[in-house]
Amino acid sequence: MDLIGLIDSIKLPVEIPLLLHPVTVHFAIAIPVIVMLLEIVNLFTKRKCVGVISTLLLLLALGVYFAAVMTGKHDGSETFSLLNADGKAELKEHKMLGIYLLYGMGALFILRLIVAAFQGMLAKLFFIIVLAVFLGFVFKQGKEGGELVYTYGANVKAVSVMDDKIMDLEDELQSCKSSLNKKSTTSSSSTKAPVVSSSSEASSSSSSQASVAQEKSSSSTKSQTSSQTTSSSQSSSSENLMQKAQKALGQIKGMASSAQEAVSSALQ
């Protein structure tokens, strides 16, 4: 089984609360930074207790990184379906890097134990360089996590609600278009029917009933005119309905954009 599949196969016996991931990732970033500062200070103080604290913090960080991956899997599964194609691809990359960082933290802890056994200056410098590289990937992971929230709206409730409203309004607009097409088809067939009837009556009338045929023809013309007027009014009302729906859709999209900006500014 590969490294990614190994983590994915882990199932915790307890239910993970939603939106616990942002809490854990703050510690996941802070603890390695503190360890880096302690290691730099320990180059000059050379206190054994500082090295012990650094090792214990790395052990704590290993547990924090495991919690960050588990909570990230849970939050990611909740928001994955709400993201667009770019957001889904970004989320997958974020997940993979998070798992690799978990394994990297385990390797850092083992390396710290080896450095403690040697107690040499070069070994400490080597550990600090490796830790600095690791921190670079940690900061990259934090940046990508911020993009998932601010750019794609991952796990932002206001954005999700507005997206649902936009989808509902688009469905309503599609329903209005379908209704308009049905009305146009019905009015077209009703307009053709009087013309055929009028033509058949005109061809079958005799010379002795000319005046009656003219009256029928006049009545048919009035019926056709009335039908066309009704059809025109129906088309006009349907067009007005579509325009109102499109206008409402534009307002909802504007509200969604404003809500996303408000959430971004609030989180900042």
Asked, for residue 218, whether it belongs to a domain, the answer is no
pLDDT for 62-91, tens place per residue?
Answer: 999 999 999 988 888 787 777 788 888 888
Whether 163 and 35 map to the same domain: the answer is no
Q: What is the pLDDT of residues 240-252, one digit of tens each?
A: 666 776 776 777 7
* pLDDT one-digit tens code per residue, 101-135: 999 999 999 999 999 888 788 989 999 999 999 99
Residue 122 included in any domain: yes
* CA distance linking residue 28 with residue 79, whole number of Å: 22
Q: Is residue 27 part of a domain?
A: yes
- More confident site: 183 or 34: 34
Give the mean pLDDT of the chain: 76
Per-residue pLDDT tens for 159-185?
455 555 666 777 778 778 777 887 777
Residues 88 and 161 occupy one common structural domain: no
User: Is residue 135 domain-shared with residue 24, that is, in the same domain?
Assistant: yes
**Is 86 among the domain residues?**
yes
The CA distances from residue 7 to 1, 13, 27, 110, in Å, are 10, 15, 20, 20
Verify that 34 and 151 share a domain, yes or no.
Answer: yes
- DSSP calls for 175-239: HHHHHHHHHHHHHHHHHHHHHHHHHHHHHH--GGGHHHHHHHHHHHHHHHHHHHHHHHHHHHHHH
Domain that holds residue 118: 3-155
The answer to whether the CB of 138 falls within 8 A of the CB of 32 is: yes
How many domains does the chain fold into? 2
Same domain, 141 and 174: no
Residue 142 is assigned to a structural domain of this protein:
yes
Domain membership flag for residue 197:
no
Please give the C-alpha separations between residue 188 and each of 27, 69, 227, 228, in angstroms, as whole numbers. Answer: 69, 62, 10, 9
22 and 75 fall within a common domain = yes
Same domain, yes or no: 7 and 137 = yes
Band the pLDDT of 212: cuts 50, 70, 90: very low
Query: Is the residue at 89 inside a domain?
Result: yes
Average pLDDT over residues 210-233: 53
One domain, residues 113 and 129: yes
Does residue 201 register a pLDDT over 60? no
Do both 90 and 160 map to the same domain? no
Q: What is the structure's pLDDT at 224?
A: 57
Quickly state the pLDDT bin for 215 (edges 50, 70, 90): low
Do 105 and 129 fall within a single domain? yes
pTM score: 0.58
Q: How far apart are CA 131 and CA 211, in angstroms?
A: 106
Q: Are residues 94 and 167 in the same domain?
A: no
Q: Which of the listed residues 155, 170, 195 is the one where a domain comes to its end?
A: 155
Mark which of 139, 155, 171 sits at the end of a domain.
155
- One domain, residues 72 and 176: no
Reduced to 3 states, what is the DSSP secondary structure of residue 132?
A: helix
Residue 194 lies in a domain: no
DSSP symbol at 82: G
